[in-house]
Amino acid sequence: MTSSVTYWVVIPAAGIGSRMRADRPKQYLPLGDRALIEHTLDCFLDRPGLKGLVVCLSAVDRWWDDLACASDTRIQHVVGGRDRADSVLAGLLALLQQGADREDWVLVHDAARPNLSATDLHNLLNTLADDPVGGLLAVPVRDTLKCAGPDGRVASTPDRSLFWQAYTPQMFRLGALHDALFRALAAGVSITDEASAMEHAGQAPRLVEGRSDNIKVTRPEDLEWLARLRG
Ligand SMILES: Nc1ccn([C@@H]2O[C@H](COP(=O)(O)OP(=O)(O)OP(=O)(O)O)[C@@H](O)[C@H]2O)c(=O)n1
Ligand SMILES: C[C@](O)(CO)[C@H](O)COP(=O)(O)O
């Protein structure tokens, strides 16, 4: 399984993981015998086409330097920002300032998603290699959805066939994503993923169906489930 596409990877890892209620940021919690973020980085480090990785860290991060991968020359780190979008923007800007081409592909992938499969990465790269916009891994919603009213009761049940859950990696051209994200944040738009910045710029990212076990570790039960899944 090979792909001729070359790409940069930006890993937002500057969060505090407040919903995990743990003693450290969730990206540094153990999964098996290594930190969660090390599993995430492994999803890219030995794959063909990688130009380099940028990890976006908190200004007060005190765990990164203790990881073996911190000395990997393919990985650089930058200081992230207040929100995830700010951290991603810092990573994109670092690549541009180092001379990366605006037309290079960049994949943005949450540090909190350590279970990305090689097949999903391959499918994303190959599906979008010639796409005029880019896109994202996503999973069609399988449960019935409810819109909640202010009273905490069901207000409506939307047609779930129209809904997908956005995952990562999300894959766009470096210059276009930087500009779209910069402009959206400057306009005060709430941006929770890269695709929404591109949408704000008038683009329609492509949905690439992926595995639902490429989960984002957000709450304690997510890590418990992953630990059982991976043995
Ligand atoms: N200012 C921030 C906030 C989040 N992230 C990263 O974005 C990813 C997805 O964000 P989320 O799951 O919300 O992580 P946290 O913000 O750490 O979690 P919480 O909202 O529970 O605090 C994570 O890898 C997180 O480290 C980041 O780089 N910079
Ligand atoms: C980018 C993302 O993982 C796509 O689902 C999600 O938007 C991140 O949200 P978070 O609240 O920053 O975890």
Residue 137: inside a domain, yes or no?
Answer: yes
Query: Does residue 216 line the site of ligand 2, with CB under 6 A?
Result: yes
Residue 65: inside a domain, yes or no?
Answer: yes
Residue 1: inside a domain, yes or no?
Answer: no
**Helix ranges (DSSP H) in 69-215:** 84-97, 118-128, 174-186, 194-200
Question: What is the chain's Cα-based Rg?
Answer: 18
Cross-strand bridge partners of residue 140 = 164
The residue count of the chain comes to 231
For residue 112, the ligand 1 atom closest to its alpha carbon is 24
Structure confidence at residue 2 (pLDDT): 54
| Smallest-distance ligand from the CA of 80 | 1
pLDDT average, residue stretch 202-218: 98
Residue 211 has pLDDT above 70, yes or no: yes
Phi and psi of 11, rounded to 5°?
A: -115, 100
| Both structure tokens of 140 | 């069609």
Domain tally for the chain?
1
Residue 163: inside a domain, yes or no?
Answer: yes
Residue 187 has pLDDT above 60, yes or no: yes
Query: Does residue 110 line the site of ligand 2, with CB under 6 A?
Result: yes
Residue 219: inside a domain, yes or no?
Answer: yes
51-61 confidence digits (pLDDT tens): 999 999 999 99
| Smallest-distance ligand from the CA of 14 | 1
Do residues 115 and 215 lie in contact, with contact meaning Cβ atoms separated by under 8 Å? yes
| Nearest residue by C-alpha to atom 8 in ligand 1 | 110
pTM of the predicted structure, to 2 decimals? 0.97
For residue 136, the ligand 2 atom closest to its alpha carbon is 4
| Nearest residue by C-alpha to atom 1 in ligand 2 | 193
Residue 67: inside a domain, yes or no?
Answer: yes
Residue 3 has pLDDT above 80, yes or no: no
pLDDT average, residue stretch 72-85: 98
Residue 2: inside a domain, yes or no?
Answer: no
Coil, strand or helix at 195: helix
Per-residue pLDDT band for 201 (boundaries 50, 70, 90) equals very high
Structure confidence at residue 169 (pLDDT): 98
Sheet holding 75-79, edge to edge: 75-79, 50-57, 7-13, 105-108, 164-173, 134-140, 206-209
Percentage of the chain lying above the pLDDT 90 cut: 97
Pocket test for ligand 1, best of 23, 40, 92, 110 (most atoms within 8 A of CB): 110
Amino acid residing at 21: R
Query: Does residue 166 line the site of ligand 2, with CB under 6 A?
Result: yes
Per-residue pLDDT band for 46 (boundaries 50, 70, 90) equals confident
Assign residue 8 a region: left if phi > 0, alpha if psi is -120 to 50, beta otherwise? beta
The label of the residue with tokens 């153990």 reads 30
The CATH number of residue 105's host domain is 3.90.550.10
Range of the domain at 126: 7-229
pLDDT average, residue stretch 164-185: 98
Residue 112: inside a domain, yes or no?
Answer: yes
**Of 194, 157, 190, 193, which is closest to residue 178 (Cα–Cα)?**
194
For residue 82, the ligand 1 atom closest to its alpha carbon is 1
Say how far apart CA 111 and CA 55 lie, in whole Å: 8
